[in-house]
Chain A
Amino acid sequence: MSNLLPLIKNECIKIIKRKRFYVILLVLLVLVPMFTYAQMKSAERSQEKFNSDWRLELQQRITDNENSLSSDRVPDEWKRYRQIFIQQMQYYLQHDVNPNQPNGVTFTREFMDNAISLFIPLLIMAIASDIVSGERTTGTIKMLLTRPVKRWKVLLSKLIALIMFTSLIVVSTIIIAYLISGLAFGYAGFELPVFTGFRIVGSEVDMSGVHAVSQWKYLLMQGGLVWFVGVSVGMLAFMVSVLVRSTAASIVIMMASLIAGTILTNMASAWSSAKYLFMVNLNLTGYLAGNLPPIEGMTLNFSLGVLALWAICAGIVSFSVFTRRDILN
């Protein structure tokens, strides 16, 4: 029967002509310079303070954190987080590697760490949230579904287009972050070593698996994880877009659950079954850096599994609802 390729082409044309992707690029082009500027300011400040000796600065941060450990006012979860941080920083110090050396690649790496759980999912939602509900709001879905194409093919073409644009968003975020921050910090830094493989056992860090990778490899691994998060969130937003007729409602639902995720994560939850919620599992790059997971017992594989499960369920729901539902509006 009719081929999928022209359908995917249609969806891509619609996304581009609706200028959604340009808006995303514009957001990046406005925000990344802001972050770069902030980063530059803080780099200047520490340079003045420590006479551009990063070892001194790192040592200072370690002592600061150590001091706070003795305070009673600091909650236990924070202490655990700081203990782990101290151990990692000491590791960097011992191996004479500056973890925060300012350059374009390091900025990009840190930016991706911060963007993975909220910023990138939001950008993806800009496309995913109305990819189906938008057709329902405008009524064009009637034209779309009265053509001689099976409904699952129509939906699949939309999903494939969404995944294509998700990939494009992740790649362009990395490229834009690198190009813009490079103006301020220089474009070097691909070969710098980054330590990964920290394993957290209780409040101790198991260093046995720690190894250095060059920063470009690390960035690649990050990119993969960010892409995975992007696709999972995209699938969920896609499902909401199928279920809800109004685009506004669809955006609100997804935003609320993403923000709920960051709140839950920050609550350092004692509610351990919350780890099965997709929104607390978004910070995949945290596992690479060896951060303390939001809830005890979460690992990279666990989070990947939870996200994959949510994404697959979202896909099943989307397709079974879309192919059966009566289009009444």
Chain B
Amino acid sequence: MKERAEEIVLSIQHVKKKIGRKWIIHDVSFDVRAGEIFGFLGPNGAGKTTTIRMLVDLIKPSAGKITVCGYNVNRQQEQALRHIGSIVENPEMYVYLTGWENLEHFARMQPGIDQQRIGEVVEMVRLDRRIHDKVSTYSLGMRQRLGIAQALLGRPRLLILDEPTNGLDPKGIKEMRQFIRQLADEGMAVFVSSHLLSEIQLLCDRVAIISSGRVLAVGDVDELIAGNSDHVIWDLSPAVQGKRILLKLDYCEIVERPEEVLDDSLLAGMPQGAVVTRIHSAHTPKAVTALVAAGVQVREVHRINPTLEQLFLQMTEGERIE
């Protein structure tokens, strides 16, 4: 099995967690393979961080089994954790030490990491100019990069990043994506959590969607997310006439309250008087023809992704139908 290209690095089987009297995680199972970026998508409070904490043995699952490279994380901690590099929540380092001293500190906790390796990871995250400054002077982005350097020190097979783009500027986010992709291309399994659908879409190969402690779906990002996007923004002129025509089409359904289905960022960028519809991609050309035939100018037709809430709604509805 180990010879296969898609070796399973992380395997989570029927993991449950009870804190106090409350079940926080009901039943979570999925596998993460070498060389893939696996997204862990869910709103805040869905149990993402709790699950991540169980992956790195910060908390013990109440039931179920987690293995990393064949080692049980909760029984053979030393062997399992050797293959994991992680940042849980924020990259909290010792602010009274320099970046380099922080890395030396963590390097001492694992055999086989020398000064040269520390230099390598510093170069990888491009922190060489400020590495000898105290961490207290670092920006959030630099701390994030130092956290990743720390995670990479032990040449892990599995990299766990909790909301890695949090607090980064757009340029930083883009660099982070490229960096993570590069790591995955080198054969590392990368596990990324996020509450942003767009983030997961841009970054991940496969995704598990979690809501209130349950995994709703696991699969390819394209199938799960793109397959569920049937909302289209129309920018028409004149808008009122355009809307009237769209209303008449039986394969097209006008969304009266776009704020319920759109992200805030999309909503803000939406042109004045734009119409949001639910329409299958197969029917879009017909609708455009109908609009043009009626003399309406079509300025823009823009297919959009559903919001996370919507995706959940569709998934849970789907469950009920089945």
Contacts and interface: CB of A to CB of B under 8 A. Distances in A.
Interface of A: 1-3, 6-7, 9-10, 13-14, 17-19, 138-140, 142-151, 324, 326-328
Interface in B86-121: 86, 88-90, 92-97, 101, 105-106, 108-111
Contacts of B292: none
B81 interface: yes
Nearest to A157: B109
A185 B233 CA distance: 90
Contacts of A6: 108-109
B210 interface: no
Nearest to A325: B59
Contacts of A149: 78, 81, 109-110
A17 B96 contact: yes
A151 B95 CA distance: 23
Given A7-B108, A10-B109, A146 B93 contact: no
B19 interface: yes
B78 A150 contact: yes
A140 B109 contact: no
Contact of A13 (B19, B58, B101, B154): B101
A326 B101 CA distance: 28
A200 B302 CA distance: 95
A327 B53 CA distance: 8
Interface in B32-74: 53, 56-60
A147 B106 CA distance: 8
A148 B154 contact: yes
* Top 8 A-B residue pairs of the complex, sorted by shortest distance between their CB atoms: A139-B92, A326-B59, A6-B108, A148-B81, A147-B109, A148-B82, A327-B58, A146-B56
B89 A142 contact: yes
Nearest to B156: A148
A142 B92 contact: yes
| Most A-side CB within 10 Å, residue of B56, B59, B60, B105 | B105
B92 A148 contact: no
B150 interface: yes
B78 A148 contact: yes
A2 B111 contact: yes
Given A18-B96, A143-B92, A148 B105 contact: no
B169 to A, nearest CB: 23
A146 B81 CA distance: 7
Contact of A2 (B58, B86, B97, B109): B109
B110 A2 contact: yes
A147 B110 contact: yes
Contacts of A139: 89-90, 92
A326 B106 contact: no
B84 interface: yes
B77 interface: yes
Given A18-B96, A140-B93, A326-B60, A146 B105 contact: no
A2 B60 CA distance: 23
B79 interface: yes
Nearest to B85: A146
Contacts of B80: 148
Contacts of B90: 139
28 contacts: A2-B110, A2-B111, A6-B108, A10-B109, A13-B97, A14-B94, A17-B94, A17-B96, A17-B97, A138-B92, A139-B89, A140-B92, A140-B94, A142-B88, A142-B92, A145-B58, A146-B56, A146-B84, A147-B109, A148-B77, A148-B80, A148-B110, A149-B81, A149-B109, A326-B19, A326-B58, A327-B53, A327-B58
Contact of A143 (B78, B84, B93): B93
Nearest to A146: B56
Given A6-B109, A139-B90, 8 more contacts: A10-B105, A14-B105, A140-B92, A142-B89, A143-B93, A147-B110, A150-B77, A324-B60
A146 B52 CA distance: 11
A260 B144 CA distance: 45
A146 B92 contact: no
Given A10-B109, A148-B110, A148-B154, A138 B95 contact: yes
A5 to B, nearest CB: 9
A11 to B, nearest CB: 10
A113 B317 CA distance: 76
Interface in B121-147: none
A9 to B, nearest CB: 7
Contacts of A3: 111
Nearest to A326: B59
Contacts of A9: 108
Given A140-B92, A142-B92, A326-B60, A13 B79 contact: no
A147 B93 contact: no
